[in-house]
Each structure stands twice: as C-alpha cells, then as structure tokens.
C-alpha cells in the first residue's frame, strides 16, 4: 500500500480474539488473532506465535492492505470451490471430521505429523479414499517434515490412493527438485507451500523446477496484489489456501482466489469448519463444496464471547506495534 495507516488508528480498531478449535491442529487448541475494523473491510492479523517479527510483519502488511484499500485487480468469479482438511485425527474420527465440511469432493490429509508413523498415514488416507469413493480427490500435506528418502518412500506407498498432489513433502527447494525427478514416472505432482510463503525468494522454487504448482496464502505473501504478482511471475498453476483463519481471514483468501486468472484446483479455504466458534454470525463455511466471495464483518457478541485474556491481548498488541514499526522503517 502507498502509506501505512498510523499506529494509533490501527490499535484503536484492533480486537484480539481466541477462537476454540474442534480438534487440536498445529499443536494448538485455540486460534488467536487480531481483528482490524478497517475503513474498507474487516481484516485479520494472525501470524503463528512462533514466527519472528520480520516474518509476522508481512502478515500485517496484508491485513492493512485488505482493510484500508481495495485491490486494483477485478474479481473473475463469485464463489470458490474448496477442499476439506483432515488433521491427524484418530481413525474413528475421520468420518465425523470430514462431515463438518459438507459435500466437498476434495480432501487434504495432513501426513508426517509428529508422533505419527507412515502406517498411521496409510490407514488414514485409506479411510478417506473409502469415504470419498473412486471419484473423490485426495491431496497430502507433509509441511516439509520428510527428508528426501522418507518422502520418496512415503509417496510410493501412498500413491496407490490416486493422489491429486503432495504438498511440501520436503523442506528445501533442492530436495523438492530431486524428489520431483525421482517420482516423475509415478505422475504424482509436487506442490510448494512453505518454499513460497516462508522463503526470502518466493520464486526460487519455480526457477529450480522444484514444483508443479504453488500453494499460496494471501497473508504470508503480503496481500492479494503481491500474491497475484508472484503467481504471474512463477508461471505455475496455483491453489489458494488458508492458515487456520477465522472467517475474516478466509474472506481475504477468497478475494485472492477470485482474482486468479486460472483456478483449476479446489482451494483450502473451507477451514472455518475446523473452528468450534467464529468471529461472525455468518461464518464462511463450505456449502455444496464452495464458499462465497463476500465481505465478512465481526459480530459484536462474538467479539465479547471470544475476547482473549488480558495478558494475551497485550502480547498481540505489542507484537502488532513492533511489526508496524518494521513496516514503517
């Protein structure tokens, strides 16, 4: 954006919330976020707590851009097809977890979770295939947890379930490039997520020929227009995903997906189904496998109900202040 809104204005419009999850995800049971009542739209600042200020400031840039100015790129679609997301839940909870997403034709299964084995992943993916039937789409997300040999072994074991793609099987770009070479004959595409959103150079993965498609998120990439520019320069298909956002954060993701020139994959924007509560009276949950592209405003009752405790609220406001200073500099 051309000019940052003053810090005092941003803090005056900030509400810190703690939203309970249906199931433990990324090691947490509550999703904390700062909601900003911007003059253009409500927006969300919610980098994960372990991220340093330099990384988190990019998320703030996205939140301020979305809340204080409109994208210059027009919408191309009014609804976004979405996938269901399955955390590493016990086998007996697979069906009930997926049921929260309604009629989604695609499921992203989290694999390589800490404390889990390949046998656990095989059992969970097999159950998803049974529930989806032969026509459903299954994609996997390892969050970079496998090394090169582990990734090759796991994909060879799991490809029997007709995988749409595997997201970030290894952490490093060079590993992704070598893995893509090794499994070429299997026909399982590789998607890059962390190698784009957490990289100093988000285009390195495309230049290295290390991925078949990009998984992009609006907040970690600095906002809608910057994410669109990265996709355009990379020249690869893209799927838009979320970071366990509230419905306000998901609305920004939907606006990004609505502006992509090409959208061939269901997007990971149905994750409001994993929240036990939400910040709006009209959550952005999947209906018939899609979410609408629409504004989402925080609900006054929800802001009272989900308010973070004073210590956590102070922590987030101090973090926002530091990130605003980095952006100003």
198-253: pLDDT as tens digits = 888 999 999 999 999 999 999 999 999 999 999 999 999 999 999 999 999 999 99
In terms of domains, do 308 and 248 share one? Answer: no
**Residue 174 assigned to a binding site:** no
The predicted-structure confidence for 28-71, as pLDDT tens digits, reads as follows 899 999 999 999 999 999 999 999 999 999 999 999 999 999 89
Angle CA(156)–CA(235)–CA(187) in degrees, nearest 5? Answer: 20
Show which residues are catalytic.
110, 217
State whether 132 and 257 are in the same domain.
yes
Average pLDDT over residues 285-314: 97
Q: Residue 97 falls within a domain, yes or no?
A: yes
**One domain, residues 207 and 128:** yes
Q: Are residues 104 and 144 located together in one domain of the fold? A: yes
Domains of the chain: total:
2
Query: Do 190 and 317 sit in the same domain of this protein?
Result: no
Closest C-alpha among 298, 299, 269 to residue 285: 269
CATH of the domain at 320: 3.30.390.10
Residue among 209, 142, 212 at smallest CA distance from 170 = 142
In terms of domains, do 62 and 190 share one?
no
Q: Are residues 57 and 136 in the same domain?
A: no
* Residue 122 located in a structural domain: yes
CB atoms within 10 A of CB 72: 9
Per the CB < 8 A criterion, the answer to whether 214 and 236 are in contact is yes
pLDDT at 215: 97
Enter the tokens of residue 212. 């078949």
Give DSSP secondary structure letters for 195-238: HHHT-SSTTHHHHTT--SEEEE-TTTTTSHHHHHHHHHHHTS-E
> d(Cα 192, Cα 172) in Å, to the nearest integer?
10
Examine the domain organization and report whether 191 and 241 are in the same domain: yes
Q: Give the whole-number percent of the chain exceeding pLDDT 70.
A: 100
Question: Does residue 62 share a domain with residue 83?
Answer: no
3-state class (DSSP) for residue 137: strand
* 167 labeled part of a ligand binding site: yes
CA-to-CA dists, residue 266 to 37, 84, 324, angstroms: 29, 9, 34
pLDDT of residue 199: 83
Does the residue 1 lie in any domain? no
159: domain CATH number is 3.20.20.120
2 within a domain of the structure (yes/no): no
Q: Are residues 98 and 214 in the same domain?
A: yes
Give the C-alpha separation, 249 to 143, whole Å: 21
Does 208 lie in the same domain as 66? no
Mean pLDDT of 125-136: 97
One domain for residues 53 and 153: no
116: domain range?
Answer: 79-292
Q: Say whether pLDDT at 1 is over 80.
A: no
């Amino acid at each position: 954006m051309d000019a940052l809104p003053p810090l005092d204005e941003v803090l005056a419009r900030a509400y810190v919330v703690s939203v309970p999850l249906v199931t433990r995800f990324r090691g947490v049971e509550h999703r904390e976020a700062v909601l900003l009542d911007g003059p253009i739209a409500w927006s969300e600042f919610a980098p994960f707590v372990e991220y340093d200020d330099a990384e988190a400031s990019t998320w703030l840039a996205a939140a301020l851009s979305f809340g204080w100015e409109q994208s210059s790129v027009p919408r191309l679609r009014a609804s976004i097809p979405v996938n269901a997301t399955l955390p590493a839940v016990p086998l007996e909870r697979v069906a009930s977890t997926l049921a929260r997403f309604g009629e989604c034709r695609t499921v992203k299964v989290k694999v390589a979770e800490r404390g889990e084995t390949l046998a656990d992943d095989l059992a969970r993916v097999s159950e998803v295939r049974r529930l989806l039937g032969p026509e459903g789409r299954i994609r996997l997300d390892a969050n970079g947890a496998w090394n090169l040999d582990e990734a090759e072994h796991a994909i060879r074991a799991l490809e029997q379930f007709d995988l749409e793609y595997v997201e970030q099987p290894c952490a490093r770009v060079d590993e992704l490039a070598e893995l893509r070479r090794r499994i070429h004959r299997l026909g399982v595409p590789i998607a890059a997520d962390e190698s784009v959103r957490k990289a100093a150079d988000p285009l390195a993965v495309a230049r290295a020929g290390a991925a078949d498609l990009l998984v992009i998120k609006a907040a970690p990439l600095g906002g809608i227009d910057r994410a669109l520019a990265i996709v355009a320069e990379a020249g690869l298909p893209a799927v838009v995903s979320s970071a366990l956002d509230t419905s306000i954060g998901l609305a920004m993701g939907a606006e990004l997906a609505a502006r992509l020139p090409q959208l061939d994959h269901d997007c990971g924007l149905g994750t409001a189904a994993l929240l036990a509560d939400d910040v709006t009276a009209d959550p952005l949950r999947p209906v018939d496998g899609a979410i609408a592209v629409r504004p989402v405003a925080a609900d006054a009752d929800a802001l009272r109900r989900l308010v973070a405790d004073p210590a956590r609220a102070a922590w987030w406001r101090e973090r926002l202040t530091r990130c605003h200073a980095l952006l100003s500099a």
